[in-house]
Amino acid sequence: MRALVVLTASLVASPAFAGGVGVIGTGGMMTEPVYFYDKSNQFAQCRDTQLVANYGTGVEFVLGDRDDKIEGVFRGYWNQVAPEKMPSGTTGSCQVASDNVVSAPRTEARNVGVGTFGVQWGIFGKPDKWQVGLVSSLGTGFLTSDRTEYLLAQGGPFATLRFGHDFEGYVELDADAHFRKEWTFGGSGQLGVRYLFD
């Protein structure tokens, strides 16, 4: 009899939907290795680590009740990475005269489709007013035109401010780590608005 009651309740009960949808803007800086060669020394390889800007925009989906301090966050966004610069020839242990530098840096902006899944932990404040906490996420730059896909890990503080019952603005600052053949590091910021429903 108990099984029949549970089965009937599960068929009659309406599904619960809680979460939100939003738009985000993102920007930051990442390190990128740019290799060059010394034509005066049998084309010995050198490496220039450059700090390259990126920015983008996209959408996000929030999973969890609007009053929960812990929520899941999925983001999908387009990210544009600025061009690299021609190495100067004087970096690290390499001291190469500029007319002996042979390199082919990426001279055009690179577009990447990025997807991340993460968890947002509220620590201070109340979700229905404002809160400050930490967020961490894992994802990938999975859509590239030049086969330079990478893994992405992010984490840092965030703050939210609720406008009325349904809308929330937020800002987030992250430390970023990319992995594609090697680890590279940087930082980024996110700014966005969410529409919450439950």
Give the C-alpha separation, 193 to 166, whole Å: 11
Rounded Cα–Cα distance for residues 85 and 106 (Å): 8
The two tokens of residue 39 are 């034509």
Backbone φ/ψ region at 18: left (φ over 0), alpha (ψ -120 to 50), beta:
beta
pLDDT value, residue 5 = 44
Task: Could you please state the CATH topology (level 3) that the domain comprising 18-38+45-197 is classified under.
Answer: Porin (2.40.160)
Q: What is the pLDDT of residue 93?
A: 73
The CA distance from 113 to 104, in Å, is 24
Quick one: pLDDT at residue 114?
97
DSSP secondary structure string for all residues of 173-197: EEEEEEESSSEEEEEEEEEEEEEEE
The pLDDT of residue 15 is 52
Determine the pLDDT at residue 165: 86
pTM, two decimal places: 0.82
pLDDT, position 17: 64
- Sequence ranges of the domains in the chain: 18-38+45-197
pLDDT at 137: 97
What share of the chain has pLDDT > 90, as a percent? 72
For the cut 60, the answer to whether the pLDDT of residue 7 exceeds it is: no
